[in-house]
Amino acid sequence: MAELKTLNHHYKDMWVFPDAEDLAGLPAKATSLGKTRLLLWVTLILTVLGVVGFVMRASADGLSNYEPWGYYMAAFSFVFMVTAPAPLVSVAFRLIRSHWRRPLTRIAEIFALVGIVNFVLYIPLMLMIPEIANPNEIGHHSLDIRRTLWIQVPWGAPHFWETAAMFSLPLMSCLILLLSSTPDMSASIQYVTGAKKKLYIFLAGYWKGSKRQWLVMQAAIGALGGLYFLTLPFVQFLISTDLGMSLIAGWKDSIFPAIYTLMGFQTSLAAILIVLYVFRKWGGYERFIGASPFWSASKILLGLSLLWIYHMFAFFITFWYGRMEVEQNILNYLFVDSWFWIFILNALGSWLIPFGILVWNPVRRADWGAPLAGVFVLFGALMFNVRTFVGAFNAGREQIYDISITVVPPAVAPDIWDLFMLIGVIGLAGLVYLIGLKIFPVMNIWEIKEGAMYQKMGRLFRGNYLVLAKPE
Amino acid sequence: MVVKIEHKWGMVVDLDKCTGCQGCVVACQAENNLPINTKDLFMQKRAFEWIRIERYWEGDFPNVKARYLPVMCQHCGNAPCEPVCPVYATYHNDQGLNVQVYNRCVGTRYCINNCTYQVRFFNFWEPTWPERLQNQLNPDVTVRTRGITEKCTFCVQRIRRAEITVERRERTKLNDKTMAARNFMPACVQACPTNALMFGDQNNKEDKIHGYFEELHGHDGHSDSRGYRILEEIGTDPSVIYLKKVDQFKMEHSESHG
Amino acid sequence: MQEGRILPPEQINKDLLNSIMSTPKWYWPAVGICSFIVLIAATVVAYMINKGLGITGLNRPVMWGFFITNFVFWIGISHAGVMLSAILRLAKAEWRRPASRAAEVLTIFSLMTAMTMPIIHTGRPWRSLYWFFPYDFARGIFPNIRSPLVWDPSAILTYLTSSVLFVFIALIPDFAILRDNTTGLKKIIYTKLAMGWQGNARQWKLQIVAGILLSALILPVFVSVHSIVSWDFGMAVSVKAWHSTVFAPYFVVGAVHSGVSAVIFVLILLRQAYGWHDYIRREHVEALCRLLIVVSTGWFYYFVMEIIFGIYGREADEVAIRTLQFTIYPWNYIMIIFIVTTYFLPIFLWSRKVWRRNLLIVSIACISVNIGMWLERYILFIPGQINKQVFTFTWANYTPSLFEGIIVLGTFALVTLLLLLFSKVMPLIPLYDIKEGDILKTEVQIGRRTVPATFRED
């Protein structure tokens, strides 16, 4: 395994070229996760705390009124925002044939299992969502329906359709995970034992690796990925609007679902990069994960953080410009007055600090740059969800059919059960993800093998450069 | 000695008294050198009506009713037309008026688009008057060339004349009485046969319109007063108050109390 | 798939400079027709400045019509340049190489054309200096920086300046080749323009660094220009259809969509007109179409958001505008035509690889996109003014006049004319980009197959 230097003094492990010996040992390595007992116990305890918090809150306030559940919604939205777009990250980078995606696709796809958790967490929210049609008499300053996508209120709206859409997401993503890991599971059957072996044989025993099977598998992943790509923004739109924006009277904001979707990509990528870094640093995968995924992804993260502030500014200036009271009240509530400090933390985490970290070339080229920025991105997203959804849930139930809010409510601090639910939801997501890592091979073996064929070191004039084959 | 001016001009329109006679429209046209609205100009939908009477029909035959709404520039406190002019041709002066500076206007028409009440007008053509009508033009008011945006000014030329005559020369305050004595009020107010339009100083406690503005700002929408402002919920803070028609008001009033 | 042959540099020079060195038969007639149309349009503009805006179809309440639609359309087209030359350069896409110069040049000319539109559509164009500069020294009043119309010139002029700089710097090596291949007056001019380019290592390094720096620096300008133009409308509180927070990214993505489509069409025309079959290959067109599938889907998402939030809450005045857009003649037809031509027809035509490689089909798709995007601006701007606020008494329709149509046609002719004139003096495909691409091509042995490959230059 040669050490690589180019004329441009790259980080020394920028590209890695696993040799045949490395690749032969990869299936065994990828299916044995190593020391995870501590992590499993920690996430399990957090989950239990979360359940305790949920039960206490449910017994105190019930499930019919949404107002006390702001922090639960924020926690759900945070986990949904981070984990739901992750399978898309793998599909998208596969579609554009980026060469550095290979180590991270399986890590991204395993987040699909957390999608099941998202669906389960979503069900209580469906019970507490307020009615669309205005039950009161229509007054002068009142709308006949609250703000929502379901403008003609068709049959089943919103509960049936939202639940169906929400259910379809983990269905599709788990299928993507299954299809993508079938060749790897089939390659690893001889290296695993016990229940896992039986599972692998059940799921992937039919796999022969014939040309037709490969073509069908890749076509299926492409088709499912496309469907997921169409469904996910729709669900993100529904959740951000019906459970967030529409509960604050007067908040008519067409860019908010786009901000929500954008933050989904940003946080997913951040989470994937953090897990990838953990594998490279402490998982012993440095022969398979170079610095180049971090280098390329950090440019995307930098761009996304700038896009975040761009979208936020577009929203802010449109609302601020006319000095109209309705819009000023919304701005005061969510940005300037009540939730001011949370907004500052949000902006620091989603924009300023990642920007400040990733704008430096050497930091982007190092393998720790993007994960470090990613940590701040995740923190910023948590603050965003708290500000938006706790703010929405506490804006005053009696005002949601009004044209605009007239009183700016104060911010709401979490109590102990809220905190339990928050860490519980995150813990549960982590637990399921860990279980996924233990079940499925953690590296996308077939893609890494493919990459090893396509990536070589070549000499041009006086320097060594990466040579990328382009078979299509 | 210069008398300090602290006026805040406003108008009150009593919809109960308005008969829709359009006398105010004609008076405004005469006073402010508005171009003549020929049939061609009207069919092009470019007619000038600094104050317009909107007529809405209610009900079916034989119980048809007409409702008249005189709409002129509302001189909004939070005017949407002001921040968008690229050259500061429209701005808010210290007497609460939204003023239009004709010689600065470039004619981008953003202010017209952003006007909530649709009370701004643009000179698409060079205005001309037949020779015999040119003597009728008011020398106190600029004649606008084409490419300029214009609108109701609360007859600012009359306000200025009042300030000069009454406040500077006669050293008396401009209030209801002095203004009425000198007939200093906008042309539309002066011409209205039923006195449906009232003009005055919001800041002056003795002014007859002062009370209406006090009531409006004092309560929070459940009013015993007839006064309201159009499109209040948008938040433009207009300086014109409309008084609801009595029978409609009585209906609504008795509903909420009955 | 890399299907081109690797040609010797002298051959590349000869091929790509043929537009300058020789004149095809169709050239002067084309210039003549375009000049004629531009002349007619200029006459109409002069007539309009003389007579007043009354000769247009504008009225009260529709104060912004064809000219503003056209203005936003050309600003939109101008976004192709940065997308193809800057963003694709930073993303290291090899297929940008033939397209970057044509895209950048189209950017500059469409920006210049776009800038004429707001000026001629003001009531008193000769007073425009009040708008752009602190000209009114007598009164000491500066332009109102709170107005989006004042943000416009600063954004557009910044974009224009940086695009011109970008193109000029990229042209220097090509000027040097021209200097070495011409005589007489032309040689003198090209020598001046080439600024002493010798092609040594230091100069090449500076050239590459300048290209990367300019690409990165122009990105914020690229995003902000169309956002600021969109805020001309987004800041309008009184026109409900315009007061939408999504306008900024919506317009930018729409601009990339229409701009890149226009560039693809121009590239196909250039390929046929100048015989550049070896340089503008089907693989380039195919890759650009794949990019457009993503961009257009992003555009469609923002468009759906804008429509949904228009009706969100069912406020009476905004619902009236949307009802007009979707159900009342002629807007309902315009709406259907626009949605089909902007999204569904092109996506369908770009869906199969075989069709993406068919230049006629791609041309149809790209023209369809641009027709649709022009209609998009039209249906976005006018109905909001027609049904403005709740005062149905002042609602009125808008019928564009012949003069507006002539002027709009004149802008298309102007851009075409400028492109044609440019192709006579400067090469529309960057020579050294092509040569660099050829150097970076190589082959890799995978199993029994020999697969084409590229060196990654970093």
Confidence of residue B248 (pLDDT cuts 50, 70, 90): low
Residue C359 tokens, joined: 């230049």
**A300 contacts chain B (CB < 8 A):** no
Q: What residue of A is the nearest CA neighbor of B234?
A: A324
pLDDT surpassing 80 at residue A4: no
- Minimum distance, in Å, between the CA of residue A73 and any CA atom of chain C: 22
Alpha-carbon gap, residue B159 to B154, rounded angstroms: 8
pTM value > 0.90:
yes
- Minimum distance, in Å, between the CA of residue B183 and any CA atom of chain A: 37
Q: What is the pLDDT of residues C390-414, one digit of tens each?
A: 888 889 999 999 999 999 999 999 9
pLDDT surpassing 60 at residue B219: no
HSE at residue A144, side-chain half, CA atoms within 13 A, is 9
The per-residue pLDDT for B254 is 60
Region C89-111: mean pLDDT is 88
Contacts of C360 (CB under 8 A, 6+ apart): none
The per-residue pLDDT for A212 is 94
- Contact across the interface for A258 and C1, Cβ inside 8 Å: no
Q: What is the DSSP string of C380-439?
A: HHHHHHHT-TT-GGG-------HHHHHHHHHHHHHHHHHHHHHHHHS-SS-HHHHHHHHH
Q: What is the DSSP string of B111-171?
A: HHHH-TT--EEE--S-----GGGGGGS-TTSPPP-TT-EEE--SSHHHHHHHIIIIIIIS-
Region B149-155: mean pLDDT is 95
The per-residue pLDDT for B257 is 47
Region A1-17: mean pLDDT is 64
Cβ(A124)–Cβ(A421) under 8 Å?
no
**A317 contacts chain B (CB < 8 A):** no
Cβ(A365)–Cβ(A10) under 8 Å?
yes
pLDDT surpassing 60 at residue B256: no
pLDDT surpassing 70 at residue C458: no
All structural domains of chain B, each given as residue ranges with its CATH number in brackets, are: 9-257 (3.30.70.20)
The per-residue pLDDT for C443 is 83
Cβ(C263)–Cβ(C78) under 8 Å?
no
Beta strands B9-14 and B240-243, pairing class: parallel
pLDDT surpassing 60 at residue B3: no
Q: What residue of C is the nearest CA neighbor of A322?
A: C237
- Minimum distance, in Å, between the CA of residue C59 and any CA atom of chain B: 5
- Contact across the interface for B83 and A321, Cβ inside 8 Å: yes
The per-residue pLDDT for C389 is 83
- Minimum distance, in Å, between the CA of residue C370 and any CA atom of chain A: 25
Region C31-41: mean pLDDT is 96
Q: Which segment, A268-277, B5-14, C17-26, is predicted with the most confidence on average? A: A268-277
The per-residue pLDDT for C1 is 44
Cβ(C399)–Cβ(C66) under 8 Å?
no
The per-residue pLDDT for C354 is 92
Q: Which residues does chain B have within 8 Å of residue C147's beta carbon, measured at their own beta carbons?
A: 83-86, 110
The answer to whether ipTM exceeds 0.90 is: yes
- Contact across the interface for A469 and C312, Cβ inside 8 Å: no
Confidence of residue B175 (pLDDT cuts 50, 70, 90): confident
Cβ(B65)–Cβ(B57) under 8 Å?
yes
Q: Which segment, A35-44, A132-141, A257-266, C319-328, is predicted with the most confidence on average? A: A257-266
Amino acid at C265: F
The per-residue pLDDT for B218 is 62
Q: What is the DSSP string of A255-321?
A: THHHHHHHHHHHHHHHHHHHHHHHHHHHSS-TTT--SHHHHHHHHHHHHHHHHHHHHHHHHHHHHHH
**Which of these CATH numbers, 3.40.190.10, 3.40.50.460, 1.20.1630.10, 3.30.565.10, describes C9-454?**
1.20.1630.10
Smallest Cβ distance to C144: which of B80, B88, B124?
Answer: B88
Mean predicted lDDT score pLDDT of chain B:
87
Region C361-381: mean pLDDT is 95
Q: What is the pLDDT of residues C124-155, one digit of tens each?
A: 998 888 888 777 667 778 889 999 999 999 99
Q: What is the pLDDT of residues A210-247, one digit of tens each?
A: 999 999 999 999 999 999 999 999 999 999 998 999 89
Contacts of A204 (CB under 8 A, 6+ apart): A181, A182, A183, A185, A186, A189
Region A453-464: mean pLDDT is 82
Q: What is the pLDDT of residues A427-457, one digit of tens each?
A: 999 999 999 999 999 999 999 998 888 888 8
- Minimum distance, in Å, between the CA of residue A338 and any CA atom of chain C: 22
Q: Best mutation site among C290, C305, C306 for testing chain A: the one with the most A CBs within 10 Å?
A: C305
- Contact across the interface for B80 and A403, Cβ inside 8 Å: no
Q: Which segment, A127-141, A184-198, C211-225, C241-255, is predicted with the most confidence on average? A: C241-255
Q: What residue of B is the nearest CA neighbor of A328?
A: B235
Q: Best mutation site among A321, A324, A404 for testing chain B: the one with the most B CBs within 10 Å?
A: A324
pLDDT surpassing 90 at residue A35: no
Percent of chain C past pLDDT 70, that is, above it, reads: 98
- Contact across the interface for B235 and A324, Cβ inside 8 Å: yes
Mean predicted lDDT score pLDDT of chain A:
89
Region A381-405: mean pLDDT is 90
The per-residue pLDDT for A1 is 44
pLDDT surpassing 70 at residue C2: no
Q: Which residues does chain C have within 8 Å of residue A256's beta carbon, measured at their own beta carbons?
A: 245
Give chains near A: 3+ CB pairs under 8 A.
B, C
Least confident of A153-167, A408-422, C54-68: A153-167
CA distances to A13, B248, B250, B252 from B256, in Å:
78, 13, 10, 6
Cβ(A180)–Cβ(A221) under 8 Å?
yes
Domain coordinates of chain C in residue numbers? 9-454
Q: What one-character DSSP code corresponds to residue C141? A: B
pLDDT surpassing 50 at residue B258: no
pLDDT surpassing 70 at residue A193: yes
Confidence of residue C99 (pLDDT cuts 50, 70, 90): confident
Q: Which residues does chain B have within 8 Å of residue C391's beta carbon, measured at their own beta carbons?
A: 54, 71, 117-118
Q: Which residues does chain A have within 8 Å of residue B236's beta carbon, measured at their own beta carbons?
A: 324
Q: Which residues does chain B have within 8 Å of residue C61's beta carbon, measured at their own beta carbons?
A: 112-113, 118
Q: Best mutation site among B45, B104, B128 for testing chain C: the one with the most C CBs within 10 Å?
A: B45
Alpha-carbon gap, residue B73 to B97, rounded angstroms: 10
Region C12-17: mean pLDDT is 84
| Residue C455 phi, psi dihedral angles, 5° rounding | -80, 135
- Contact across the interface for C391 and B44, Cβ inside 8 Å: no
Least confident of A201-215, B140-154, B175-189: B175-189
Grouping H, G, I as helix, E, B as strand and the rest as coil, residue B12 is strand
Confidence of residue B220 (pLDDT cuts 50, 70, 90): low
**C215 contacts chain A (CB < 8 A):** no
